[in-house]
């Protein structure tokens, strides 16, 4: 078995059969994950999600490209987001926000976006 290219793989450990386990990894990669909160035009419905491409995902919500809660309740206004470089941290934060009360979500939004402006234009690529 040929050894993997060291620039692309990192040695992790050996398994129970003494076989080397490598992980595909690059120090040059920037990992981007986001949690976000959407609302509808009257700010009465809140939706919290997680993604690795915020502009693409909000575009999908705005254009109703996926069926589900956001298309049913017209939640397509981005009012809050946070950036993470680790997916586990992003998922944990999403769960924390989802578990919180509506008041906590509103306080979080208003701390950064008092007027509940649509932030999509500021993150579009």
What does the pLDDT read at residue 5?
Answer: 44
Give the strand order in the sheet containing 77-84: 46-51, 33-39, 77-84
Output the pTM of the full model: 0.76
Identify whether 12 is part of a domain.
Answer: no
What does the pLDDT read at residue 41?
Answer: 95
What does the pLDDT read at residue 66?
Answer: 85
Identify whether 60 is part of a domain.
Answer: yes
Identify whether 119 is part of a domain.
Answer: yes
Which residue range forms the structural domain that includes residue 106? Answer: 33-123
What does the pLDDT read at residue 93?
Answer: 96
Rounded CA separation 80/113 (Å): 7
What does the pLDDT read at residue 125?
Answer: 65
What does the pLDDT read at residue 96?
Answer: 97
CATH number at residue 104: 3.40.1440.10
* Counted domains in the chain: 1
Identify whether 91 is part of a domain.
Answer: yes
Identify whether 27 is part of a domain.
Answer: no
Two structure tokens written together for 52:
């690795």
Query: Mean pLDDT per segment of 10 residues, for the chain of length 125 residues?
Result: 45 53 49 95 97 94 92 95 94 96 97 95 83
What does the pLDDT read at residue 18?
Answer: 56
Identify whether 6 is part of a domain.
Answer: no
Identify whether 21 is part of a domain.
Answer: no
Two structure tokens written together for 2:
């040929």
Identify whether 41 is part of a domain.
Answer: yes
Q: Is the dihedral of CA 38, 31, 100, 106 positive or negative?
A: negative
**Which residues 6+ apart lie within 8 Å of 64 measured at CB?**
70, 71, 76
């Amino acid at each position: 078995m040929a050894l993997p290219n060291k620039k692309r793989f990192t040695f992790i450990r050996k398994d129970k059969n003494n076989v080397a386990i490598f992980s595909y990894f690059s120090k040059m990669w920037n990992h981007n994950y986001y949690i976000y909160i959407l609302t509808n035009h009257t700010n009465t419905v809140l939706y919290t999600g997680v993604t690795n491409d915020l502009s693409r995902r909000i575009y999908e919500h705005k254009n109703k490209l996926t069926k589900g809660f956001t298309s049913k309740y017209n939640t397509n206004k981005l009012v809050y987001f946070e950036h993470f470089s680790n997916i586990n941290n992003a998922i944990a934060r999403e769960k924390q926000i989802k578990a919180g009360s509506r008041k906590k979500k509103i306080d979080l939004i208003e701390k950064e976006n008092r007027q509940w402006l649509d932030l999509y234009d500021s993150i579009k690529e």
